[in-house]
Amino acid sequence: MSEYRTYLDLNGNPIVNTNKIKILETAIDLFSRKGYSGVSIREITREVGIKESSLYNHFASKEELLGVIFLNFRRAIGEILLPPEMLRGALKQMIAEQFLQQGVINFKAHIDDPINARIWRIVTIEQYRDPLARSILVEDIIQRTLSFLESAFALMIEQGAVKPHPPKLLAAEYQYPLFGMITEYNLQKYLDQDTSAIEQSMADHIEFFLSHVRTA
Amino acid sequence: MSEYRTYLDLNGNPIVNTNKIKILETAIDLFSRKGYSGVSIREITREVGIKESSLYNHFASKEELLGVIFLNFRRAIGEILLPPEMLRGALKQMIAEQFLQQGVINFKAHIDDPINARIWRIVTIEQYRDPLARSILVEDIIQRTLSFLESAFALMIEQGAVKPHPPKLLAAEYQYPLFGMITEYNLQKYLDQDTSAIEQSMADHIEFFLSHVRTA
DNA sequence: GTCTATAGGAGGATAGAC
DNA sequence: GTCTATCCTCCTATAGAC
């Protein structure tokens, strides 16, 4: 169990009870491997070391438990991207290359946290069954990243750092390969496989992309 | 139910019994929406209109049912890509653009079949729980496509149609965006949403890619 | 090949004592 | 906040008649 992470409940209050945190993290682990429907309350509480009935003192239902997991993931995702109002300032201080590399570093810090990686997998597994999982995937991950990058590339073009392609096209060309590679990265991490090849592919992609769009 | 599709059982024999086919297609539909663990034998047989016990006359277990679904999906996937021995001949008759566009047409024919789209979603859902789903995703979809494209780009370079980048890099740059976009396409189809934007993104990607790598 | 009947366990969830 | 005890439903799977 991660010692220093804080979780919020549905009212936005920090969760302090040790068993409640244990339930959350055990559920995250099991859901990410077997899916929500493949895991029973019984299995979670057995692993935590409490009785089934005790879980209901912390969460009203199995579904609420998943809801709290997703709520906290939304918070964590929010920290990957720079706030839009800081975009212009950041791009004044960095060249395009640095800016994009910093984005990858931020993302890597996020996904290399085992808890985040697990919830990312839960979102993938549950996207067709659960509307909340789906909205996290579509709105918080895909759309948010693409529109952030669209603004960033528009600014880079304004600065003359990048050739004047449509910013939306640049965002898609830059990000979609990374989405595909992240899926693979996440699966390899799950299997404890070596991820150096796919990480190299990510780096190669950024280099290939920039070599064709930068003005310098 | 699709009238003309044929399914094979685990021994490679065609499945002719109507109820057995109904069970398969009902299971495909339900698994693709709720996941394997989220669907019961009871639910499947209720929809088919038979008793639970009758299902076991056709499939030894729920797991075997999923196994037969995956077996038939492997066959269907095999038809997307050109056999490697026909690659050289095809590239003599087509320019790079035509060749890649034909690939997208082939793939679109595959994924626009509702049954294939559903099994594609089952594979996504079950990739962490089920080793067979995982091997379909990694070996039959990702690796097979990338190594096919690597050969194709190597030939295009040989023919002078494409600039001499490493073929593996070209394959990754070409295909990973499509993987990402297919995920989105498949989700939008599931939600009966308009897919024209993401389809346009696929076309834009191919054009963007070719404009930077073709020699002409 | 489909049925009725049933086994035997696992599922989510609650009541009430401490 | 955790426990024991319990509810009732749903689960996969089998036996045996027709």
Give A83's Cβ-side CA count (13 Å radius).
2
Of A128, A169, A184, the CB nearest to B32: A128
Q: How does DSSP assign B66-116, residue by residue?
A: HHHHHHHHHHHHHTTSPPGGGHHHHHHHS-HHHHHHHHHHHHHHHHTSHHH
pLDDT at B1 exceeding the cut of 70: no
Contacts of B175 in chain A (CB under 8 A): 180
Number of H helices, E strands in chain B: 11, 0
Q: By the 8 A CB rule, do B118 and B29 touch?
A: yes
CA proximity to B70, closest of B138, B139, B136: B136
Sign of CA dihedral A37, B65, A127, A196: positive
Judged by C1' against the alpha carbon of B54, the nearest nucleotide is C2
pTM: 0.97
Please tell me which residue of chain B has the smallest CA distance to A177. Answer: B177
Per the document, the length of chain B is 216
Other CB atoms within 10 Å distance of the CB of residue B199: 15
Q: Is B169 on the interface with A (CB under 8 A)?
A: yes
Instruction: Measure, in angstroms, how far nucleotide D12 C1' is from residue B94 CA.
Output: 54
pLDDT at A182 exceeding the cut of 80: yes
Give the pLDDT mean for B80-102: 94
pLDDT at A206 exceeding the cut of 90: yes
CA-to-CA distance for B50 and A60, rounded, in angstroms?
36
Give the pLDDT mean for B20-41: 98
Both tokens assigned to B174? 């070409």
CA-to-CA distance for A23 and A25, rounded, in angstroms?
6
Q: From the CA of A38, how many Å to the nearest CA of chain B?
A: 5
CA-to-CA distance for A100 and A174, rounded, in angstroms?
10
pLDDT at A26 exceeding the cut of 70: yes
CA proximity to B103, closest of B30, B28, B182, B43: B182
pLDDT at B209 exceeding the cut of 80: yes
Q: What is the pLDDT of residue A100?
A: 95
Give the pLDDT mean for A53-74: 98
Give the pLDDT mean for A105-115: 96
Mutation target for B interface from A176, A201, A204: give the one with most B CBs within 10 A.
A176
- CA B86 to centroid of chain Cα atoms: 21
Q: What is the pLDDT of residue B216?
A: 73
Q: What is the pLDDT of residue A4?
A: 81
Q: Is B33 on the interface with A (CB under 8 A)?
A: yes
CA-to-CA distance for B207 and B101, rounded, in angstroms?
10
Q: Is B190 on the interface with A (CB under 8 A)?
A: yes
The footprint of strand C (CB < 7 Å) covers A 39-43, 52-53, 56, 60-63; B 17-20, 49-54, 57-58
pLDDT bin (cut points 50, 70, 90) of residue B2 is: low
> Which nucleotides along chain C are within 7 A of a protein C-beta?
1-6, 10-16
Other CB atoms within 10 Å distance of the CB of residue B190: 16
- List, for residues B52-73, the tens digit of each pLDDT value: 999 999 999 999 999 999 999 9
Contacts of B183 in chain A (CB under 8 A): 179-180, 183
Q: Is A190 on the interface with B (CB under 8 A)?
A: yes
Q: What is the pLDDT of residue B148?
A: 98
CA-to-CA distance for B27 and B44, rounded, in angstroms?
6
Q: What is the pLDDT of residue A24?
A: 98
pLDDT > 70 fraction of chain B, expressed in percent and rounded: 99
Other CB atoms within 10 Å distance of the CB of residue B45: 21
Q: Candidates 1.10.10.60, 3.40.50.150, 1.10.3720.10, 3.30.930.10; correct CATH number of A18-66?
A: 1.10.10.60
For B70, residues 6+ apart whose C-beta sits below 8 A from its C-beta are: B119, B123, B132, B133, B136
Give the pLDDT mean for B10-23: 98
DSSP run (H or E) holding A208: helix A196-213
pLDDT at B154 exceeding the cut of 90: yes
For A117, residues 6+ apart whose C-beta sits below 8 A from its C-beta are: A32, A111, A186, A189, A190
pLDDT bin (cut points 50, 70, 90) of residue A179 is: very high
Give the pLDDT mean for A8-35: 98
Q: Is B184 on the interface with A (CB under 8 A)?
A: yes
DSSP run (H or E) holding B140: none
Q: What is the pLDDT of residue A216?
A: 73
Q: What are phi and psi of B178, to 5 degrees?
A: -65, -40
DSSP run (H or E) holding A59: none
For A137, residues 6+ apart whose C-beta sits below 8 A from its C-beta are: A123, A124, A127, B187
Greatest pairwise CA separation for chain A in angstroms? 64
Q: What is the pLDDT of residue B214?
A: 96
- List, for residues A138-178, the tens digit of each pLDDT value: 999 999 999 999 999 999 999 999 999 999 999 999 999 99
pLDDT at B3 exceeding the cut of 80: no
Instruction: Measure, in angstroms, how far nucleotide D2 C1' is from residue A116 CA.
Output: 30
Q: From the CA of B16, how many Å to the nearest CA of chain A?
A: 31
Rounded (5°) CA angle B118-A180-B75: 40
- List, for residues A112-130, the tens digit of each pLDDT value: 999 999 999 999 999 999 9
Domain ranges of chain A: 18-66, 79-213
Contacts of A37 in chain B (CB under 8 A): 34-35, 37-38
pLDDT > 70 fraction of chain A, expressed in percent and rounded: 99
Both tokens assigned to A158? 């304004």
Give the pLDDT mean for A102-109: 94
Interchain CB distance below 8 Å, A177 and B173? yes
Q: How far apart are the first and last CA of chain A?
A: 47
Q: What are phi and psi of A14, to 5 degrees?
A: -65, 140
pLDDT bin (cut points 50, 70, 90) of residue A187 is: very high
3-state secondary structure of B154: helix
Alpha helix ranges (H) inside A12-143: 18-34, 41-48, 52-55, 62-78, 87-93, 96-111, 114-126, 131-135
Interchain CB distance below 8 Å, B205 and A38? no
Interface contacts A/B by beta carbons within 8 Å: 108
